[in-house]
């Protein structure tokens, strides 16, 4: 089946007892056990809940995996996946990674004996150079956040496989609708389902999907052991959001392409970062490994002062942390997604004081452009 069909029909069977069209929200912490010698299908909701199971099946199918896991947030998903590593292990991570993941890898896991080296993962040579005898893993994000750098996923995976490293990728910006890293050989896909998968800015959730059954067993064990599970109610919201993933991604991506081209030619803008523009360094690679450039772009207004002026004038996009909602969202990485990063680390990654990230929602692109234009016209210079 094609993705647009899968999002409607996987994990969602008519309900067994009533035939209801939507999976019920099973608000139960525990389940009756008829016979203590039989393992029941559901025992306790941390280890399994029917509503969560429905969304986990849906996530696994969409990513082309065998097991899906729904977690309380994207960071809960990343933390649970990182349990694959232990004291004495070293991992290599993309330098251009989500600020919260950077915080987790640089400030929390060292505490448990896992060291991370950050490299420019768009350069496979640089990944190879960072290897140590105790390297066990490679953590990627493509496109990266917020400068949209593209990593050659298959190339990085080939290196990792040769060295027997486990690979984890954060697929939040693309979603399985546009990019399926498991098919490129990645071991573990992680998502902030708060973003495009949920899609309505009304939910905080995370996901993990794997193909290998042994890895599935390990993640299932850590999900239950850590206990950072998604609640039945939030699982239902995520299922509801997923049903429109295909149409939302198509429409948002189309809008992003139009807005990116408008911004690229604008005299008030220093630079636009969007892998759907021919001027972007990763344009061709993105076309090769993904089904589209996605709906997130960044642009540079030159200074914090101009950013403040601009944000005080825009009316349509929500000025906020996050992305991937039905409404367009403008965020300021310096104080928002990358606030947890030291200023010198931000600058190294091209996250200057004038950089804004725009996640294009489902508004009419012309209305967005009109709004951006009136705000840009009011800028000094
Ligand atoms: C938001 C985000 C996260 C963190 O997810 P939460 O759901 O906020 O915990 C991780 N990675 C990326 C790329 C994100 O955008």
Q: pLDDT by residue (tens digit) across 59-112?
A: 999 999 999 999 999 999 999 999 999 999 999 999 988 989 999 999 999 999
pTM (2 d.p.): 0.96
Atom of ligand 1 nearest to the CA of 78: 10
Claim to verify: residue 215 and residue 261 sit in the same structural domain: no
Which protein residue's CA is at the shortest distance from atom 4 of ligand 1? 74
Angle among Cα 56, 60, 66 to the nearest 5 degrees reads 115
Across 158-171, average pLDDT: 98
Give the domain-ending residue among 242, 257, 292: 242
Claim to verify: residue 72 and residue 85 sit in the same structural domain: yes
Which residues form ligand 1's pocket by a CB distance below 6 Å?
A: 73-75, 98, 100-101, 141, 145, 170, 172-173, 192, 194-195, 204, 206
Claim to verify: residue 300 and residue 238 sit in the same structural domain: no
| pLDDT tens, position by position, 14-61 | 888 888 988 999 999 999 999 999 989 999 999 999 999 999 999 999
Distance CA 209, CA 367 (A): 37
End-to-end CA distance of the chain: 53
- Best substitution site from 99, 100, 203 to test ligand 1's pocket, by max atoms within 8 Å of Cβ? 100
Claim to verify: residue 250 and residue 362 sit in the same structural domain: yes
| pLDDT tens, position by position, 262-320 | 999 899 999 999 999 999 999 999 999 999 999 999 999 999 999 999 999 999 999 99
Backbone angles phi, psi at 302, to 5 degrees: 100, -35
Active-site option among 89, 95, 98, 102: 98
Tokens representing residue 180 in the block: 């399926």
Distance CA 366, CA 355 (A): 22
Active-site option among 195, 211, 346, 349: 195
Q: Is residue 62 part of a domain?
A: yes
Q: Is residue 145 part of a domain?
A: no
Please classify residue 261 by burial: count the beta carbons closer than 10 Å to its beta carbon, then call 0-12 exposed, 13-18 middle and 19+ buried.
Answer: middle
Q: Is residue 101 part of a domain?
A: no
| pLDDT tens, position by position, 214-258 | 999 999 999 999 999 999 999 999 999 999 999 999 999 999 999
Residue labelled with tokens 């680390």: 345
Give the domain-ending residue among 209, 242, 275: 242
Total domains, the chain:
2
Ligand 1 midpoint to CA 18 (Å): 37
Q: Is residue 98 part of a domain?
A: no
Claim to verify: residue 366 and residue 218 sit in the same structural domain: no
Claim to verify: residue 164 and residue 62 sit in the same structural domain: yes
Atom of ligand 1 nearest to the CA of 206: 7
Give the domain-ending residue among 208, 223, 242: 242
Ligand 1 midpoint to CA 4 (Å): 24
Let me know: does 73 contact 203? Beta carbons within 8 Å. Answer: no
Let me know: does 137 contact 89? Beta carbons within 8 Å. Answer: yes
User: Which has the closest alpha carbon to 337: 74, 98, 77?
Assistant: 98
Tokens representing residue 193 in the block: 């389902």
Claim to verify: residue 272 and residue 259 sit in the same structural domain: yes
Claim to verify: residue 269 and residue 257 sit in the same structural domain: yes
Q: Is residue 373 part of a domain?
A: yes
Claim to verify: residue 284 and residue 325 sit in the same structural domain: yes
Claim to verify: residue 366 and residue 277 sit in the same structural domain: yes
Whichever domain contains 24, its CATH number is 3.40.640.10
Which protein residue's CA is at the shortest distance from atom 7 of ligand 1? 74
Radius of gyration of the chain (CA): 21
Supply the range of the domain harboring residue 24: 3-91+130-138+152-242
CB atoms within 10 A of CB 345: 16
Answer yes or no: 46 catalytic: yes
pLDDT at 12 over 80: no
Whichever domain contains 264, its CATH number is 3.90.1150.10
Answer yes or no: 164 catalytic: no
Where do runs of H (alpha helix) occur along the chain? 3-9, 50-63, 74-82, 99-103, 124-129, 153-163, 175-178, 213-226, 232-242, 245-264, 283-289, 304-313, 343-348, 365-377
Claim to verify: residue 200 and residue 214 sit in the same structural domain: yes
Angle between the 245-264 and 365-377 helix axes, to the nearest 10 degrees? 30
Q: Is 128 left (phi over 0), alpha (psi -120 to 50) or beta?
A: alpha
Claim to verify: residue 192 and residue 322 sit in the same structural domain: no
Q: Is residue 218 part of a domain?
A: yes
Q: Is residue 103 part of a domain?
A: no
Q: Is residue 85 part of a domain?
A: yes
């Amino acid at each position: 089946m094609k993705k647009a069909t899968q999002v409607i029909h996987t994990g969602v069977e008519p309900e067994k007892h009533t035939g209801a069209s939507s999976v019920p929200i099973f608000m139960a912490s525990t389940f009756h056990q008829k016979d203590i010698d039989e393992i029941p299908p559901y025992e306790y909701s941390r280890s399994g809940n029917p509503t969560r199971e429905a969304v986990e099946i849906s996530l696994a199918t969409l990513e082309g995996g065998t097991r899906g896991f729904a977690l309380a947030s994207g960071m809960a998903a990343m933390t649970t996946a990182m349990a694959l590593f232990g004291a004495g292990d070293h991992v290599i991570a993309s330098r251009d990674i989500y600020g919260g993941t950077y915080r987790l890898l640089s400030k929390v896991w060292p505490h448990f004996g896992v060291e991370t080296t950050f490299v420019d993962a768009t350069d496979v040579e640089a990944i190879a150079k960072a290897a140590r005898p105790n390297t066990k893993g490679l953590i990627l994000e493509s496109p990266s956040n917020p400068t949209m750098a593209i990593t050659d996923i298959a190339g990085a995976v080939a290196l990792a496989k040769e060295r027997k490293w486990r690979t984890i990728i954060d697929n939040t910006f693309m979603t399985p609708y546009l990019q399926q890293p498991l098919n490129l050989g990645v071991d573990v896909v992680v998502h902030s389902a708060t973003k495009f998968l949920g899609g309505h800015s009304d939910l905080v959730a995370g996901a993990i999907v794997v193909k290998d059954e042994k890895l599935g067993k390990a993640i299932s064990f850590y999900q239950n052991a850590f206990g950072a599970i998604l609640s039945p109610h939030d699982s239902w919201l995520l299922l509801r959001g997923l049903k429109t993933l295909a149409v939302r991604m198509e429409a948002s991506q189309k809008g992003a392409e139009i807005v990116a081209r408008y911004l690229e030619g604008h005299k008030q803008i220093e630079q636009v970062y969007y892998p759907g523009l021919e001027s972007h360094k990763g344009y061709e690679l993105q076309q090769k490994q993904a089904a589209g450039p996605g709906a997130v772009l960044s642009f540079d207004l030159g200074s914090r002062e101009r950013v403040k002026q601009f944000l005080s004038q825009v009316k349509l996009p929500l000025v906020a942390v996050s992305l991937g909602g039905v409404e367009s969202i403008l965020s300021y990485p310096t104080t928002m997604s990358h606030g947890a990063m030291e200023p010198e680390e931000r600058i190294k990654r091209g996250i200057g004081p004038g950089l804004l990230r725009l996640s294009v929602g489902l508004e009419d692109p012309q209305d967005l452009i009109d709004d951006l234009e009136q705000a840009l016209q009011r800028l000094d210079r």
